[in-house]
Amino acid sequence: MAELTYRQALHDSLRAEMLADESVFLIGEEIGLFEGSYKITAGLLAEFGPRRVRDTPISEEGFVGAAIGAAMLGLRPVVEIMTINFSLLAIDQIVNHAAKARAMFGGQVSVPLVIRTPGGGGQQLGASHSQNIEVWYAHSPGLKVVTPATPADAKGLLAAAIHDDDPVMFVENLGLYNTKGEVPEGPYKTEIGRAAVIKEGTDITVVAYSRAVLTALEVARRLEEEDGISAEVVDLRSLRPLDRETVCASVRKTTRAVVAEDDWLSYGVGAEVVATVQEGAFDYLDAPVRRVAAAEVPLPYSKPLETAAMPSAADLGRAIRRALDESAYRR
């Protein structure tokens, strides 16, 4: 395996799929001459030309709509929206058209469309550029929503999304682009809808997705080293479809759970995971499921306030200890 950044893994996966299939093309703002706001598409215009790497006007509704039409006619467009916040300008196209076309036309058409878009806070971009609103899209049947946390999954899930015949929201986190990890070489796909147990444990389950997975791993390893607490970490990877069985199997084993996310607490992914555990592992629980999430405020621009509003490793550590204390752990 090669060690790559999350950014490079995305770039390499795009390039490999474009080389393998001429129906794959890229479309979005500043992805060609400027090589993308986060340089994921660096060098691809020079290699593949403007027919397959298409710069667009600043009109999310327009170029997402064009990509949906192209997908319905047999191409495999990969749209880049500069941030998930700007996807709101195209939400009618995404939710009312891309997600609904197969059902509304009785299966006569498919929409093999990928929408790549970063989100998340911590970069001092202000409240309207720092949101985790992937749950809005995960709420919509007809869409698939994936949230890779590692460079390996960035590569594998992007390849799987491009090959999928249904529209996929591919949500990246701005805080992950420079992270590094081992990535399989050659063709590689990660199954959409399958969570991963990325650290085995016996005392408590920590369920997370996207950037929060790295925090969960950091906390789990530290607790094991310092206190002998064995935390199992489950990376959801996919929000729709959601792998409920992997989550419940882990909780049935450990009998305790904490859910960590960068989203707001109310009506979030964590709430759905808690409901899943209540339905699928309630009789095994030795303590209430605890949740760690962002403060319910528009994220401040001020760095100290932004940091205070975002969930931290310390917040997660306290939630884990509370869940253990409530179940008389080692008493």
| Active-site annotation, residues | 60, 129
Find the Cα–Cα–Cα–Cα dihedral 272, 278, 280, 282, rounded to 10°. Answer: 160
| Of 282, 275, 284, residue with least CA distance to 244 | 275
- Other beta carbons less than 10 A from residue 186's beta carbon: 5
C-alpha to C-alpha distances, 46 to 9, 41, 150, 219, 254, nearest whole angstrom:
19, 10, 28, 43, 52
For residue 29, the number of C-alpha atoms closer than 13 Å in the C-beta half-sphere is 14
Query: Which ranges of 242-330 does DSSP label H, i.e. alpha helix?
Result: 244-254, 269-281, 303-309, 313-326
- Other beta carbons less than 10 A from residue 108's beta carbon: 9
